[in-house]
Amino acid sequence: MNTSTRRRWPALLLLALPLALSACAAEPAATEPTQVAPPAPTAPTPLPAPKPTEVPPELPQAELDARLRAAAWANDVDAARKLIEQGADVNAKDDTVQSAYLIATSEGRLELLRLTLAHGANVHDLDSWVGTGLIRAAERGHWDVVGELIQAGTPLDHVNRIGYQAIHEAVWLGRDDPTYHATVRVLVAGGVQFQAPSGFEGLTPLQMAYSKGYPTQAALLEALAATPLPADPVPALLAAAAAGDANGVALALRAGAPADSVDTQGRSALEIAEHAGHAGHLASAQVIRALGG
């Protein structure tokens, strides 16, 4: 080995030493897998807060009243009740002089009429013909509404602008049928004048019936005019109810018998009439029921 070779040998050893140490180094120990913590439960997404109940704005009085009249024309008693609770006026009229109360009378809406009466209906109020609710109901033959109005204290003999009372309207503008016969009986039972002439034609109700060619209505009015009122009205009412005598029932009520009179067995006049089994029992029951029996 020459001299130059001996000089390089230590340097080569120094260069090789790191490589040898690197090759002999121990492999790193295996490490345990890192434990991953489970995700923390997330809070539920909050739901949006409910909106407060929206209260409809208060309607103007005129709008409430208009809606009430519309409900009356539609005979929507539930809607009418709600509108009245909100402040609608049963006596408020439109440009044609119609109110919920007056509509109930002319259209024969008994339940609606009772609702308006319970909330201050003015039974003295007049329509565009200067007629009362009683005149309107009598014209249409609504015997049950006629009875309800009589019980409520409506004027019996008011004259409208053409000189008619309620009984004139029932005869002159009515028909010769059971509906109008019942209407006339209820009017007579309730105490109306029924022999006064009308202001326009100058005819009594009986003369009107003859003029219109209504023989049954004429016979009814003749019988009512010719029969004296009973001196003891309650027994007369009970006897007429049992006999199915509708005219006798009307006259006993006119004489002052309460419509809810009862006999010694506790049976009401209405119950007696309804179970009498005579041809006239239904007509008798109508009159008693109309006036509160």
The structure tokens listed for 256 are 């002052």
What is the percentage of the chain residues whose pLDDT exceeds 90? 78
Q: Is residue 26 part of a domain?
A: no
DSSP 195-256: SPPPSSS---HHHHHHHHT-HHHHHHHHHHHHSPPPSSHHHHHHHHHHHT-HHHHHHHHHTT
pLDDT value of position 94: 98
Q: Is residue 53 part of a domain?
A: no
* Global confidence as pTM: 0.80
Last residue of some domain: 122, 141, 176? 122
Domain count, the chain: 3
* Sequence-separated contacts (24+) of 219-224 with Cβ below 8 Å: 220/181, 220/184, 220/185, 220/247, 221/171, 221/184, 221/194, 223/247, 224/185, 224/188, 224/194, 224/250, 224/251
Q: Domain range spanning residue 220? A: 130-226
Alpha helix (H) residue ranges in the chain: 3-24, 61-73, 77-85, 100-107, 110-118, 133-140, 143-152, 166-172, 178-190, 205-212, 215-226, 233-243, 246-254, 269-274, 281-290
**What is the CATH number for 237?**
1.25.40.20
Q: Is residue 168 part of a domain?
A: yes
Q: Is residue 77 part of a domain?
A: yes
Q: Is residue 196 part of a domain?
A: yes
Give pLDDT tens digits for 78-129: 999 999 999 999 999 999 999 999 999 999 999 999 999 999 999 999 999 9
Last residue of some domain: 173, 196, 226? 226
| Low-confidence winner among 83-97, 164-178, 268-282 (lowest mean pLDDT) | 268-282
Give pLDDT tens digits for 128-139: 999 999 999 999
Q: Which residue has the tokens 């004139």?
A: 168
Last residue of some domain: 122, 155, 170? 122
Please state, rounded to an integer, the average pLDDT across all residues of the chain.
Answer: 87
